[in-house]
Structure 1
């Protein structure tokens, strides 16, 4: 892995641009690259792929700043009352985001535009070449790691998590899924992500520039760890939180990290991945409980994983009743179509034995006992949010 100076120079050379904007991204980039150089056990595919991700993010940041320089009025775009999906990973939030993405009156962050946000989609005449490029990336990913289709169903044009937009500030969880970088992981949990979320807001303004304004639907489990920071950038955000047995969740997410890491390294440590996820999500849940208890309960709507699986459209209807927004016939038809098509093509998903990751479910559950007790009450509320 090259040093930071070489990576920055590569991004500048490939774009012909120079201005990265505020330098809040520098510490994360430097810590990430240092960890990749000294701790990661990347194979040749990993070296190439992770470098490409870093340079892509730097190029995206350069292009965003260039757009704002030429179109400063973009900063006047309002981002009002976004709905943010969160919860422990593997709790049905990906399926929920896909269902919400069928609402023509709302705006999701789509995979292809998260990967390359600039120029704004509304400015492109004719087919957008970024879509075809993202479709090919998804196809190759599933070809190289077939289990990814079962673990994380994805579509180039479907809703995507906030990881890439957070990566523009180089404070994003997805780096640790690519590589063994414990020093970066430890630093990230204690970092201030306020600038990260403010830059995500900057990117969202650009993405909606020139479009009819619709409320954003965003999503990432990572937000659990940084709700205080997210709140500073999106003070009017509302949240939909998905719930599932934490012991099942930890095994599933460790398995996901193992599959992703196995694409980029020939030396994946499953027990480290188990311990990392237990520690980080326990911290994240404690922080989320504290945020909710600090006068923010009214901003949350809760959905049980089993309810989504049992009757996904009813689950979304209850959420929209809480939002005070209609589920139009077009929206409902789109959800029914998505669920039917994905249920028919969904791959079987069997995880390894928890012991593979050094996980004892009966030792995990006590770490999340406060959360589990509160979650049972939250999901028993009616659509108006009342007990």
Structure 2
């Protein structure tokens, strides 16, 4: 039976020893949140200097200023952002170097992908991992998403394990040290299939900064004011590069942000089968706002828990409206709507619908691979998080649900939070 987990100190946080140590280390080692500092560090780390098209610098500057201009941010948050920007800038350098060495990558033909999207916490992760168990699909595990292009000459060791895998495994242990609930919320072990948004982060454009930093209004406004089509084309090029390393050529992908970017997604992948998941939005807000409030204990000097809740209630609103507005951009014959309760009741039936829409045979071997994954990854194996909207945020579920009536009238999902 799964352990029941409840965060007892959400509004009055008590930092663990590990969290305190990380906060102290960051305070003793301040970072400079400037484009020049990040790019200089990336060049030094990689030995490369060609970033490709330089328009990304403007977006990187907004990322950095979003945090640098906020006096309520902790040194830990500043260090976290610098290190992530360094990782993405270094990854961009390596990808650009690979494309320069092998321009034939641009000519690789990708087969029609299957792309899963929907609000966070609606089953997208579980579904994409089930599909990825079918070895006829190409997917992107976290260890590869973290470092898409290996260091030139940095091959597997004597044990045959890619060093990127080992680094990712070490990082997963560190993450669990400062967030003991992470495995229950969103497993990030090296084999876990990651969001393709990771590749767009090399181009410094995605909604990722909002989830990473609990709130990011400055970046949000910039992001929403700009067409994301170029960044989806960057994603396609990055997928071609990963396919050059190893096949097959039919990808299974997933990311919640596609829900509000169905137009750009269709521009880059016009032949994709798009799977859209649906679940009670009240439960989504409850879960994500709680997670953001918890991580906010290290992100802010004085966390505004109600502000975090409002931000994520707004974000869910905007994604649902965009998804309803743009759903007609995806032809009916290429779209699958998945309702969470029906999916949980019959996972293989949902998978069969996806395969049928994509025109892929669900072979006996594929069924066995998917069922083996399900058997080895039982739901809630890391514990069941419990929430309380009323106690933690002073919000009545029924009142919040009315805010999303525009969505529920189109997609009458089962109410999960009473």
TM-score by length of 2: 0.84
Residue number among 118, 122, 127 corresponding to 1:91 in the alignment:
122
Native 8 Å contact 2:42 2:90 kept in 1: yes
Structure 1 pair 37/315, CA: closer, same or farther in 2 (3 Å)?
Answer: same
Q: Counterparts of 1:242 and 1:98 in 2: how far apart (Å)?
A: 14
CA distance in 2, matches of 1:322, 1:55: 40
CA contact (8 A) 1:178 1:264 kept: no
Aligned to 2:74: 43
Q: Do structure 1's residue 135 and structure 2's residue 169 form an aligned pair?
A: yes
| 1:52 equivalent in structure 2 | 83
- Asked whether the 8 Å contact 2:138–2:251 carries over to 1, the reply is yes
Structure 2 distance, partners of 1:318, 1:296, is 16
CA-CA distance at 1:213 after TM superposition: 2.9
Shift of 1:290: 1.8
Partners of 1:38 and 1:226 in 2: how far apart?
28
Are residues 1:21 and 2:55 paired?
Answer: no
Structure 2 residue corresponding to 1:174, chosen from 188, 208, 217 = 208
Distance of aligned partners of 1:294 and 1:131 in 2 relative to their CA distance in 1, 3 Å threshold: closer
Q: Which residue of 126, 130, 149 corresponds with 1:118?
A: 149
Distance 1:163 1:357 in 2: 30
| Cα gap change, 1:118 to 1:162, in 2 (>3 Å) | same
Instruction: Name the structure 1 match of 2:63.
Output: 32
Structure 1: unaligned runs, 5 residues or longer = 378-387
Task: Compute the displacement of 1:214 (Å).
Answer: 3.0
Conservation of the 8 A alpha-carbon contact between 1:241 and 1:300: yes
2:398 pairs with 1:362: yes
CA distance in 2, matches of 1:8, 1:290: 38
Q: CA 1:115–1:210 in structure 2 vs 1: closer, same or farther (change >3 Å)?
A: closer
Moved more, 197-206 or 339-348: 339-348
- Matches for 1:320-359 after TM superposition, within 5 Å: 320-343=355-378, 345-354=381-390, 356-357=392-393, 359=395
Deviates more, 1:339-348 or 1:140-149: 339-348
The 5 Å alignment of 1:1-387 reads 1-39=32-70, 41-119=72-150, 124=155, 126-179=160-213, 180-294=215-329, 296-343=331-378, 345-354=381-390, 356-357=392-393, 359-376=395-412
Task: Call closer, same or farther: CA 1:358–1:205 in 2, change over 3 Å.
Answer: farther
- The alignment partner of 1:107 has SS state of coil
Q: Is the 8 A contact 1:74 1:206 kept in 2?
A: yes
1:322/1:237 CA distance change after superposition, 3 Å: closer
Deviation at 1:173, TM superposition (A): 1.8
> What are the Cα deviations for residues 163-209 of structure 1, in whole angstroms up to 9, with x where unaligned?
32121121122212222432112222232211211111111111110
Give the count of matched residue pairs: 377
The C-alpha deviation readout for 1:286-318, integer Å capped at 9, x for no partner, is 222122234633321011111222232232122
Q: Distance in 2 between matches of 1:272 and 1:189?
A: 20
2:384 match: secondary structure = coil
Are the aligned partners of 2:278 and 2:411 in contact in 1 as well (CA < 8 Å)?
yes
Whether contact under 8 Å (2:33, 2:78) holds in the other structure is no
Do the aligned partners of 1:147 and 1:259 also contact (CA within 8 Å) in 2?
no
4+ residue segments displaced more than 6 Å: none
Q: What is the rounded CA distance, in whole Å, between the counterparts of 2:219 and 2:394 in structure 1?
A: 22
Q: Which runs of 5+ in 2 are unaligned?
A: 1-31, 414-418
Question: Residues 266 and 329 from structure 1, CA distance in 2 versus in 1: closer, same or farther, beyond 3 angstroms?
Answer: farther
Distance between the aligned counterparts of 2:269 and 2:330, measured in 1?
Answer: 16
Q: Identify, as 1 or 2, the structure richer in helix.
A: 1
Q: 1:24·1:195 contact (CA, 8 Å) conserved in 2?
A: no
Which 10-residue stretch deviates more, 323-332 or 224-233? Answer: 323-332
Deviation at 1:147, TM superposition (A): 1.0
